[in-house]
């Protein structure tokens, strides 16, 4: 890893980014419960001098018109939510060149970056392409990209740039698709001996779950992540449920796998009601190598003094853009570790390049 020496002059934007990251990190934002953090972000956007709005799902949007206010906007997003519940102690802090806090890199620093960009944009007269900075809800867990999907349905978007804290050395140009299913089995239950012969929801779950795993052709991905059911060793289970994750780089293949798995999960013996619902879908897709957005993202790295990125596919907010044919990339802001763990940390020094990259990308996309 090459380290550049710090500039002699203090970097106000970097200091501001660190302060904002620590401030936002202290506000809990579990998936589905992002309102408190969203309110702080709305206030910070407004203080920056942006026109601020909150949409029906809880996304916080800061808009800046360009030369033609009716033109589609460049949308830059950072998700508000973290994987941590309200019971997790946050205690954000700076130590030895790092910021430490659950969720600090995924994705609080990205939301803080949106605020820094808002301040910089608001300080100059609006020109060029319109831009929308969006702090979004529902990226993690079973949030199902609720925020990004709604945003892309409601804001005319020429390019969708997602920011992620940890991914400075990567450029995400494609998305692994995923489908999440929940299967429920319900029966009459009863005493294990006294009511013998009564169908069991857990037995139905075991049979259907095994059939679902077997139904998937080799080299395709199925993961039964959660299996629950029953209440006691001497009771016939009246209820059981499974949560299943399917993934594929190819959307059509993912749909085919989904049909096979649903068919297997819906199969239950007489007396057991089986219901299968889709509880999530992150569409697969890829932005073309030759797309102007991908070229701009590569050039922005060079502008910021960063080495060419590892170009990769991931599971990010970009997935929401593929079915709409909106060009999309996800760029990173720094390096760190322990993502999705309470010991999560990020490095402060690389944030300078990460911020420079984001600024350069906006410039290259015509945001004046």
Nearest to 271 by CA among 362, 167, 363, 201: 201
User: Left, alpha or beta for 180 (phi > 0: left; psi -120 to 50: alpha)?
Assistant: beta
Considering the rule CB under 5 A, would residue 107 count as an interface residue with Zn ion? yes
**Closer CB to Zn ion, 228 or 310, in the complex:** 310
Between 138 and 177, how does the x/- string for binding to Zn ion read (CB under 5 A)?
----------------------------------------
**Closer CB to Zn ion, 106 or 353, in the complex:** 106
Interacting span for Zn ion (CB under 5 A) from 101-109, 152-160, 212-220, 320-328: 101-109
By DSSP bridging, strand 157-164 and strand 328-332 are parallel
Do 106 and 166 touch, CB atoms closer than 8 A? yes
Considering the rule CB under 5 A, would residue 106 count as an interface residue with Zn ion? yes
4-23: which residues touch Zn ion (CB under 5 A)?
Answer: none
Between 61 and 100, how does the x/- string for binding to Zn ion read (CB under 5 A)?
----------------------------------------
Please report how close the Cβ of residue 11 comes to Zn ion at its closest, in angstroms: 25
Place of tokens 């033609």: 68
**Closer CB to Zn ion, 177 or 332, in the complex:** 332
Structure token digits, residue 51:
């026109």
Q: How far apart are CA 358 and CA 19, in angstroms?
A: 18
Q: Greatest CA span in the chain, whole angstroms?
A: 82
Q: How far apart are CA 349 and CA 176, in angstroms?
A: 30
**Closer CB to Zn ion, 106 or 144, in the complex:** 106
Considering the rule CB under 5 A, would residue 347 count as an interface residue with Zn ion? no
Considering the rule CB under 5 A, would residue 357 count as an interface residue with Zn ion? no
Q: How far apart are CA 38 and CA 29, in angstroms?
A: 8
Q: Which residues bind Zn ion (CB under 5 A)?
A: 106-107
């Amino acid at each position: 890893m090459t380290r550049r020496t710090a500039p002699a002059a203090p970097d106000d934007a970097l200091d501001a980014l660190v302060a904002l990251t620590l401030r936002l990190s202290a506000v809990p934002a579990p998936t589905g419960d992002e309102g408190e953090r969203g309110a702080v972000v709305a206030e910070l956007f407004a203080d920056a001098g942006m026109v601020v709005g909150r949409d029906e799902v809880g996304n916080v949007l800061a808009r800046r018109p360009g030369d033609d206010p009716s033109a589609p906007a460049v949308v830059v997003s950072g998700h508000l939510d973290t994987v941590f519940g309200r019971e997790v102690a946050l205690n954000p802090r700076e130590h030895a060149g790092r910021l430490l806090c659950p969720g600090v890199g995924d994705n609080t620093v990205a939301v803080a970056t949106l605020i820094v960009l808002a301040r910089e944009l608001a300080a100059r007269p609006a020109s060029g392409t319109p831009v929308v900075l969006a702090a979004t809800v529902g990226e993690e867990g079973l949030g199902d990209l609720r925020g990004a999907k709604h945003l892309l349905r409601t804001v005319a978007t020429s390019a969708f740039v997602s920011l992620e804290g940890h991914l400075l050395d990567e450029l995400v140009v494609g998305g692994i698709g995923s489908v999440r299913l929940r299967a429920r089995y319900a029966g009459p239950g009863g005493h294990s001996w006294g009511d013998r012969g009564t169908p069991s929801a857990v037995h139905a779950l075991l049979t259907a779950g095994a059939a679902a795993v077997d139904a998937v052709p080799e080299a395709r991905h199925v993961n039964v992540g959660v299996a629950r059911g029953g209440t006691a060793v001497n009771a016939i289970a009246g209820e059981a449920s499974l949560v299943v994750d399917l993934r594929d780089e190819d959307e059509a293949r993912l749909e085919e796998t989904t049909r096979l798995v649903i068919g297997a999960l819906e199969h239950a013996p007489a007396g057991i009601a089986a219901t299968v619902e889709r509880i999530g879908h992150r569409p697969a897709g890829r932005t073309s190598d030759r797309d102007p957005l991908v070229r701009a993202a590569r050039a922005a790295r060079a502008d910021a003094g960063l080495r060419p990125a590892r170009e990769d596919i991931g599971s990010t907010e970009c997935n929401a853009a593929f079915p709409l044919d909106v060009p999309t990339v996800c760029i990173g802001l720094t390096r760190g570790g322990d993502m999705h763990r309470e010991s999560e940390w990020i490095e402060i020094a690389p944030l300078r390049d990460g911020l420079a990259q984001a600024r350069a990308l906006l410039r290259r996309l015509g945001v004046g």
